[in-house]
Amino acid sequence: MRLVVATCQVDYAGRLTAHLPMATRVLMIKADGSVLVHSDGGSYKPLNWMSPPCSFREGSTDDGQVEWTVTSPKTDDTLRILIEEIHHESTHDLGVDPGLQKDGVEKHLQELLAEHPATLSPGLTLVRREFPTAIGPVDLMCRDSDGRSVAVEIKRRGEIDGVLQLERYLELLNRDPLLTSKGLVRGIFAAQEIKPQARVLAGDKGIACALVDYDALRGLDDPTARLF
């Protein structure tokens, strides 16, 4: 991973456009090809990013200012980073990551819901567990009866952070034309218990909530989940 602290301006052009004016930010170029732009406050969510596969080129503008250009061959999206000054730069080999180790109940919930995705929504079928993205794996990637992609985030206890995590995944997944051919990827936030504030936030962001009965999924009763 290459880590750079720089005063820079960032412009994104693609499905939408976004502009970050000149300021000091953290730039991450990861071994998987992803590029992420972070600020020092406000959120752990990147301000902007480009997910792999993408190409990274270092060049300069006509007036000699350093410019990084990141392009996606799949979508023609472009991220341009204009560097005014580099304050710190380092490279680190992080090695192979063993992945997130979830507690036993949460891990088992994921396994059970992968076997019974239709308990979350009628007609839902599993595409893949631990669907990879540049910012971490989505617990379940599914497809509904209309062929639309559905991302499922699973928690033992559903809180606001989990909803925000799923929102970040959806923002990234909705940049992929292969996943959005039937419409934007929708999200389901599944948990044994969902806090009222998390449910309100999910509804505001168009994310469905599913209360999951763990004992039922283990076969004690008919598997059921209640959607809100």
Q: How far is it, in rounded angstroms, from Cα 126 to Cα 140?
A: 7
| Beta strand 149-158 pairing with 186-194 | parallel
Identify the DSSP state of 42.
Answer: S
**Mean pLDDT of successive 10-residue segments in the chain (228 residues)?**
96 89 95 90 80 89 93 88 96 77 70 92 94 91 96 94 94 92 95 94 95 77 49
Q: Say whether both 203 and 111 belong to one domain.
A: yes
Q: What is the domain count for the chain?
A: 2
pTM over 0.85? The answer is no
Cis peptide before 177 (omega within 30 of 0): no
**Owning domain of residue 23:** 2-91
* pLDDT (0 to 100) of residue 99: 63
* pLDDT (0 to 100) of residue 197: 95
* pLDDT (0 to 100) of residue 220: 45
Identify the DSSP state of 125.
Answer: E
The CA-based diameter of the chain, rounded to the nearest angstrom, is: 70
What CATH number is given to the structural domain containing 181?
3.40.1350.10
Q: Number of helices and strands (H, E) in the chain?
A: 4, 13
Q: Say whether both 168 and 78 belong to one domain.
A: no
> 9 lies in a domain?
yes
> Is the C-alpha dihedral spanning 194, 131, 10, 6 positive or negative?
positive
Starting at the edge strand that comes first in sequence, how are the strands of the sheet with 78-91 ordered?
Answer: 48-50, 35-38, 17-29, 2-13, 78-91, 66-71, 55-60
> 96 lies in a domain?
no
* pLDDT (0 to 100) of residue 223: 47
Q: Say whether both 66 and 118 belong to one domain.
A: no
From residue 45, give the alpha-carbon distance in Å to each of 22, 116, 136, 165: 19, 31, 12, 9
CA-based nearest residue to 113, from 100, 135, 128: 128
* pLDDT (0 to 100) of residue 222: 47
Q: How far apart are the first and last CA of the chain?
A: 41
